[in-house]
Structures are given as C-alpha cells and as structure tokens.
C-alpha cells in the first residue's frame, strides 16, 4: 500500500494501480475518452491518445494522464486545479477543431462522450477554429452491417482494441486521421470482420455505427400495397426500455408489441416461437450425430457473427456446424411460405422486418442462402436502437403504453425459446428436448447453472438418457479459437459447443442500447430478466409448444422432414479475403 492525497483527501491504495483507479475508490470522477475499461470481458483500452484524463501532481508541478500513471508514495494529486481545467479545455478544443459539428443529426447525439465533455466544460464556439473542412474524408458504406465515418474518429483506438485484443478478429488494424480499417484499406466485407458490432459499442463519438435501415422500413410501412410483418428477438424486450429511461433489464415485451402496432405493422410475431422451432430441428440433428458418432462436436448456428467467422477462418469445419437457420431465418422463411399460404397473401407483397439486438443480422438477411423464389427470407433488419428511434420519431409515449399480445400464428413460446436471448440458452434448450426425446429420466433441474452466467468459456458433463455428454458454451468470439483448433486436430472432447460472438450472447449484441462501460452490471440485469421469463413460463421445453406441433402436423410433416429441411435449414460457403484464393 502507498499513501497519497487526492483533492485534499488522504488515503491508502494499492501501489500497482493508476491514479484514475485510485480516484474511483473515493468517488472522484475523472473524465476519459480514449480509456475504457469494461468489467467482465477483459476489455481495457490503455491507448494514451486523448489526454482528457489529465491531473496535476502538485508535488511535481506537472500534469499527467491519470489512466497511465501509477500511484507513488506521497503523491499529492489535484483533479480539478486551474492548470488541469485549462489543459482539458485546450485538449478538447483541439479535438473539436478536427470534428464535424453535425450533432443535431448524428446517430450518437446525446450518447456521444465528446459532446458530453464539451457541455460539461462549457467549450465556447468562438474558441474553436477548424483546421480542416468538416466531412473531408469519404464515408465507408462497403457492407450491409457497419457504417464508418472517419470524420468523427478521435483516434482513441477503442475499436481497434476491441477487435484485436477482445474479439481477436483483427479487422481494424489502423486508426488514423480519416482512416478506420486494415493496413490496405480493404473494404470491410473483404476483411475478416464478422460484423459483431462490438466496435460500435465502445466508439465514443459515432465514428462507427450500424447501417441504418429505418428509412426502408418507413417506406414499406407507408406503401399501401405492401403487407409489412415484423418479428422481435428474445433479447430486444429486455433492453429496449433502457432507451426510454425505464431501467436496466426491464421486460417491456407488451409495450414493444403495442408500439409496433402503432407504427403500422400489419402483424407482430415473436422470434421466440422460431427459437423453439430451432431447438427441435437442432435437437433432431444433434441426436442423429450422437447416435452415429459423426461430425461431433455439433456447433450451433444461431449467431451470424460466429457463422461468418467459421466461413472466413475455418471452412474445414463446415460439417460440424448445425445446418439449422437461425431463428430469424426460420421465421422469415415461414412468413413467406406458411403464413402467406394460410392468410392467402401473395408473398411478393410481404415485407418481412426483424428487430434484432445484433448488427450481424443485417448481413445475415442478405445471404443468398437465406432466400427463396420471393426474394430474401428477411427483407430488413433494424436494431434495438433503431426501433427506439422509430418509436421516438413517431412521438409514441413508450413508458405509458398498455401491453399487447403478439399476433396469433407465431405467438406461443416456451421458456426454452426465451433462453436464446442469452449465452447458454441454445444448448440448454437442446438438452431439455434431447433428454425428453431419448427417454431420459426427468431432469432434476432444467437450469444448467454450470454453463450459465459468466462471460468467456464454460463447460459441463451431463447424463442424457444414459449417455455421458460433454458440452461447452462460449460467448465473446475471442474465446473460441482454442476450441476450434482442438476440433481441427481431432482432439475435442465435446459433443456440442454453443458460440455467441458477443459478450453475454444476444443480450450484449452490437445493436443493443449503449452501455458506456458498465456492461457487466447491465448484462446481469438483462440476463436475469431472460431467466425470469423461463422460470415463470408454464411450458419450458420447446417441443411442448402447441403451435409448433400444429405447424408440423399441418405443414412441415415430421421433425427433420424433407420439407422442414428445405425451409428451415441452410448451407455454408468459404468467404476468403478478396486477395486470397477460395
């Protein structure tokens, strides 16, 4: 321990921590831009570039960055001296001088940390002199998921740290004035980018955001010749309320359905239904593989970021990936087939919209493998954030809305289907159904606590109908590499592995409300809200869903049938970099 003084407060702290960390222990806030520490996912950006977090060392008469300066015995620190304030104002002036002033129309407005600091320090416009023309650098719209505006980049390197050190993808290797990408400035679609959008969640200024599809959705809603159907993912209902100051992890399912009805959607369906459907098809596939001891471990296919990673980096493992479409894909296909037929609607007139917590879902919707004779299974994907923008622009008083129910045909779901919104949910659901189908003893407890909760890698060994089954759950794509290498080398001990690209699974997706670094607390509350849905459902095993039974009886035939395979399953292909051979 060392003795230091901060703003006149004497305290003892550990000798190996920074001034920034020491200040937090006594609730002294020091502003930061480039620095960001996200508890629970091993994310810490130590790039010292912005210098906003400067403090004065009174005993040494100089200012230093608090995020990178370790405490020392006898330090006398001032976080709000005249020298500190003047230095911060000067630093912010320099940042703003190279930054667009399009705050009124910026996607990040009110969430932008540069804007927040500018307001707090009362930077006056007369003090700012532009050294370059705003919007001097070209925007990058080279993919369906992620939009980059290098004019707004403050070179904090948060995105680079997230992509390289946390997700371990390496699509962002260079960040500079007017530049966000790899060294060759390769279009993002031709890099190893998996469109997880975790770079979006840590960008402080809106230099990286999701591709905006709100305009296309509004156009569809205003077209009287179109029948516009929407589905909502499990994780959206436990996060949307945050954008309306309703607290973290509040389940706003009923209000969300009401809002979608008022926005003009003709039908509002629940992706939880399709999650139950995915469980059945994947359980059938899993059981067949275990019985035949073939293509094990089975790898889940619900996360498009994860699927893209396999297609980019591990095409030799295609046989291990479940052929099931994601719940979004299954629902989209059913809307333009079963629903259209049942309601006597020409599929050409249906516009299928999905509300997702994930920006990779935008890319998934464009895949040629997820299309039919009437076009793409899903026409447009909007994120949780984009839906909140639509609700606000329609002047809907969301917190005071009454609750509504999903529309009938795809409205029933089980607790197992709801679990898809969080990491481990897919495997928990499959285990419940597979155990039942194989005639195993009734599970003492449906919740698989050993694979729940914590970020990273978790594993468990289960007895399913007398067979010992090893399973693993990964969330955060950076934790998957070792498992994949074991599979390649034939050393994997697992029968099934679930991978979600984002920390926490879908609840931590790149399209969810911004977390500002308090991710672990937020994930815990979103996760518990998902578990609560499962805990209090009367039906908690996917094949008990009565509407699913009706779908198979009247349309698909038996589980794993040829028709079910045609509509609900897909294939994969190698997607190398543009400068690599296929």
Q: What is the pLDDT of residues 264-307, one digit of tens each?
A: 999 999 999 999 999 999 999 999 999 999 999 999 999 999 99
DSSP conformation letters of 393-440: HTT--GGGPPP-PPPGGG----HHHHGGGSTTHHHHHHHHHHHHHTTP
Q: Which of 56, 210, 282, 412 is catalytic?
A: 282
Q: Which of 345, 346, 381 is nearest to 363 (CA)?
A: 381
Nearest Cα to Cα of residue 523 among 44, 107, 38: 38
Euclidean distance between CA atoms 193 and 336, whole angstroms:
30
Q: How far apart are alpha carbons 525 and 522 in whole angstroms?
A: 5
Q: How confident is the model at residue 129 (pLDDT cuts 50, 70, 90)?
A: low
Query: Which of 56, 108, 285, 386 does the annotation list as catalytic?
Result: 285
112 is written with which tokens? 């932008």
User: Is 91's pLDDT higher than 90?
Assistant: no
β-pairing, 467-475 vs 456-464, is antiparallel
- The pLDDT of residue 394: 96
Residue 175 parent element (H or E) = strand 174-176
- Choice among 203, 302, 303, 502 that is catalytic: 302
Contacts of 426 (CB under 8 A, 6+ apart): 278, 279, 282, 300, 302, 419, 420, 498
Whether the per-residue pLDDT at 151 is higher than 80: the answer is yes
Q: Which of 498, 506, 542, 544 is catalytic?
A: 506
Reply yes or no on whether 282 is catalytic: yes
Read off the pLDDT band of 135 (50, 70, 90): low
* Percent helix / strand / coil, the chain, rounded to 5: 40, 15, 40
Counting Cβ atoms within 10 Å, is residue 445 exposed (0-12), middle (13-18) or buried (19+)? exposed
pLDDT digits (tens, 9 = 90+) for 367-378: 999 998 889 999
Report residue 106's pLDDT band, with 50, 70 and 90 as the boundaries: confident
Nearest to 119 by CA among 132, 131, 109: 109
Name the burial class of residue 294, with classes exposed (0-12), middle (13-18) and buried (19+) by CB atoms within 10 angstroms of its CB: exposed
What are residue 307's phi and psi, to 5 degrees? -60, -45
Question: DSSP class of residue 543?
Answer: G
> Angle at which helices 425-437 and 271-292 pack, to 10 degrees?
60
- From the number of C-beta atoms within 10 Å of its C-beta (0-12, 13-18, 19+), residue 558 rates as exposed
Catalytic residue among 250, 364, 386, 498: 364
pLDDT for 134: 61
What is the band of 92 on the pLDDT scale with cuts at 50, 70, 90? confident
pLDDT greater than 50 at residue 258: yes
Give residue 519's pLDDT band: very low, low, confident or very high (50, 70, 90).
confident
Q: Is 475 left (phi over 0), alpha (psi -120 to 50) or beta?
A: beta
525 is annotated as an active-site residue: no
pLDDT (0 to 100) of residue 473: 94
**pLDDT for residue 133:** 64
Q: Is the pLDDT of residue 347 over 80?
A: yes
pLDDT in the model for residue 126: 59
Reply yes or no on whether 361 is catalytic: yes
Q: What is the rounded CA–CA span in Å between residue 351 and residue 206?
A: 29
Return the higher-pLDDT residue of 134 and 385.
385
pLDDT beyond 80 at 560 = no
Find how far residue 29's CA is from the centre of its chain: 28
Please say if 216 is a catalytic residue.
no
User: Tokens 């994120």 belong to which residue?
Assistant: 383
Burial 347-376 (b: 16+ CB within 10 A, else e): beebbbbbbbbbbbbbbbbebeebbeeeeb
The reported pLDDT for the residue numbered 320 is 95
Give the pLDDT of residue 582.
Answer: 39
Q: Among residues of the chain, what percentage have pLDDT more than 70?
A: 96
Asked which of 37-51, 254-268, 498-512 is least confident by mean pLDDT, the reply is 37-51
Is the confidence at residue 429, as pLDDT, over 50? yes
Q: Which residue has the tokens 């940042």?
A: 95
pTM beyond 0.95: no
Q: Which helix (H) or strand (E) holds 350?
A: strand 350-356
Tens of pLDDT, residue by residue over 465-516, are: 888 999 999 988 988 988 999 998 888 899 999 999 999 999 999 999 988 7
Span 213-240, mean pLDDT? 97
Q: CA separation (Å) from 74 to 53, 204, 231, 334, 523?
A: 21, 34, 60, 69, 39
Q: Which two tokens stand for residue 198?
A: 């975790």
User: Has 50 been annotated as catalytic?
Assistant: no
pLDDT (tens digit, 9 = 90+) per residue, 349-389?
999 999 999 999 999 999 999 998 889 999 999 999 999 99
Mean pLDDT of 412-432: 94
DSSP letter for 60, please.
T
385 in Cβ contact with 210 (< 8 Å): yes
Q: How far is CA 353 from CA 330, 382, 387, 396, 433, in A?
A: 13, 8, 11, 20, 29
Whether 550 sits among the annotated catalytic residues: the reply is: no
Of 51-60, 396-405, 417-426, 524-533, the range with the lowest mean pLDDT is 51-60
Lowest mean pLDDT, pick from 31-40, 227-236, 291-300, 372-381:
31-40
Q: Regarding the domain delimited by 216-568, which CATH topology (the fold level of the hierarchy) does it fall under?
A: Rossmann fold (3.40.50)
pLDDT, position 16: 87
CB 63 within 8 A of CB 87: yes
Predicted local confidence at residue 576, as pLDDT: 85
Query: 114 versus 419: which is more confidently predicted?
Result: 419
Name the catalytic one among 145, 283, 301, 322. Answer: 322
Least confident segment among 21-25, 259-263, 268-272: 21-25
161 vs 578, residue with greater confidence: 161
Binning pLDDT at 50, 70 and 90, where does residue 119 land?
Answer: confident
- The second-level CATH assignment, the architecture, of 2-97 is Roll (3.10)
Confidence of residue 128 (pLDDT cuts 50, 70, 90): low
Q: Where are the domains of the chain?
A: 2-97, 135-210, 216-568
CATH architecture of the domain with residue range 135-210: 2-Layer Sandwich (3.30)
> Would residue 124 show up in a list of annotated catalytic residues for this protein?
no
Check residue 581 and give its pLDDT: 43
Mean pLDDT for all residues in the chain: 90
Residue 579, pLDDT above cutoff 80: no
| Pairing outcome for strands 179-181 and 174-176 | antiparallel
What number is the average pLDDT over the span 541-552? 93
d(CA 563, CA 559): 10
Question: So what's the pLDDT on residue 209?
Answer: 95
Find residue 54's DSSP bridge partners.
Answer: 65
In the predicted model, is pLDDT for residue 335 greater than 80? yes
Q: Is the peptide bond before 297 cis (omega within 30 degrees of 0)?
A: yes
Integer Cα distance of 28 and 22 in angstroms: 9
Beta bridge partners of 123: none
Instruction: Name the active-site residue from 15, 124, 127, 369.
Output: 369
Instruction: Examine the pLDDT at 228 and tell me if it is beyond 60.
Output: yes
* 506 flagged as catalytic: yes
Annotated active-site residue in 284, 336, 361, 362: 361
pLDDT band at residue 111, thresholds of 50, 70 and 90?
confident
Asked if residues 304 and 365 have their Cβ atoms less than 8 Å apart, the reply is: no
Gyration radius (Cα) of the chain, Å:
25
């Amino acid at each position: 321990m060392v003795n230091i003084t901060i703003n006149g407060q004497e305290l003892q702290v550990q000798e190996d921590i920074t001034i920034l960390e020491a200040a937090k222990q006594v609730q002294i806030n020091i502003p930061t831009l480039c620095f960001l520490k996200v508890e629970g996912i091993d994310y810490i950006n130590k790039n010292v570039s912005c210098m906003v977090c400067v403090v004065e060392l009174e005993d040494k008469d100089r200012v230093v960055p608090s995020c990178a300066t370790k405490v020392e015995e006898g330090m006398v620190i001032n976080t709000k001296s005249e020298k500190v304030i003047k230095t911060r104002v000067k630093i912010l002036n320099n940042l703003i001088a190279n930054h667009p002033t399009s705050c009124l129309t910026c996607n990040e407005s009110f969430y932008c940390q540069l804007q927040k600091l500018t307001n707090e320090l009362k930077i006056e416009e007369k003090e700012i002199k532009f050294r370059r023309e705003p919007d001097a650098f070209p925007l990058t719209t080279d993919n369906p998921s992620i939009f980059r505006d290098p004019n707004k980049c403050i070179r904090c390197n948060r995105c680079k740290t997230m992509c390289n050190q946390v997700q371990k993808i390496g699509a962002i290797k260079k960040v500079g004035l007017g530049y966000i990408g790899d060294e060759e400035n390769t279009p993002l679609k031709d890099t190893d980018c998996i469109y997880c959008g975790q770079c979006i969640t840590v960008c402080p200024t809106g230099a990286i955001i999701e591709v905006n599809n709100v305009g296309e959705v509004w156009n569809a809603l205003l077209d009287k010749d179109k029948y516009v159907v929407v589905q909502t993912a499990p994780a959206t209902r436990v996060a949307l309320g945050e954008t309306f100051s309703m607290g973290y992890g509040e389940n706003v399912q009923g209000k969300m359905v009401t809002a979608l009805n008022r926005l003009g959607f003709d039908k509002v369906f629940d992706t939880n239904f399709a999650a139950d459907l995915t469980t059945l098809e994947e359980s059938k596939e899993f059981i067949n593989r275990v019985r035949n001891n073939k293509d094990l471990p089975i790898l889940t296919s619900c996360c498009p970021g994860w699927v893209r990673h396999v297609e980019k980096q591990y095409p030799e493992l295609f046989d291990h990936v479940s052929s099931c479409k994601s719940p979004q894909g299954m629902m989209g296909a059913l809307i333009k087939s079963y629903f259209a037929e049942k309601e006597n609607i020409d599929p050409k007139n249906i516009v299928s919209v999905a509300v997702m917590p994930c920006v990779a879902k935008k890319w998934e919707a464009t895949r040629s493998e997820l299309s039919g004779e009437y076009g793409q299974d899903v026409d447009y994907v909007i994120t949780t954030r984009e839906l909140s923008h639509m609700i606000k622009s329609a002047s809907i008083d969301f917190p005071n809305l009454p609750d509504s129910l999903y529309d009938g045909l795809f409205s029933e779901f089980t607790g197992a289907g709801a679990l898809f919104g969080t990491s481990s949910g897919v495997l928990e659901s499959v285990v419940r159904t597979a155990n039942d189908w194989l005639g195993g003893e009734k599970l003492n407890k449906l919740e698989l606590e050993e694979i729940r909760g914590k970020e990273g890698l978790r594993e468990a060994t289960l007895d399913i109908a007398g067979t010992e089954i090893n399973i693993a759950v990964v969330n955060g794509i950076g934790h998957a590499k070792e498992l994949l290498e074991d599979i390649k080398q034939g050393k994997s001990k697992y029968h099934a592995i679930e991978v979600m690209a984002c920390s926490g699974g879908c609840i931590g997706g790149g399209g969810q409300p911004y977390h500002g670094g308090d991710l672990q607390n937020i994930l815990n509350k979103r996760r518990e809200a998902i578990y609560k849905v499962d805990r209090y459902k009367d039906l908690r095993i996917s094949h008990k869903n009565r509407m699913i039974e009706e779908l198979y009886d009247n349309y698909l035939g038996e589980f794993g049938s040829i028709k079910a395979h045609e509509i609900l399953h897909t294939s994969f292909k190698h997607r190398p970099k543009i400068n690599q051979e296929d």
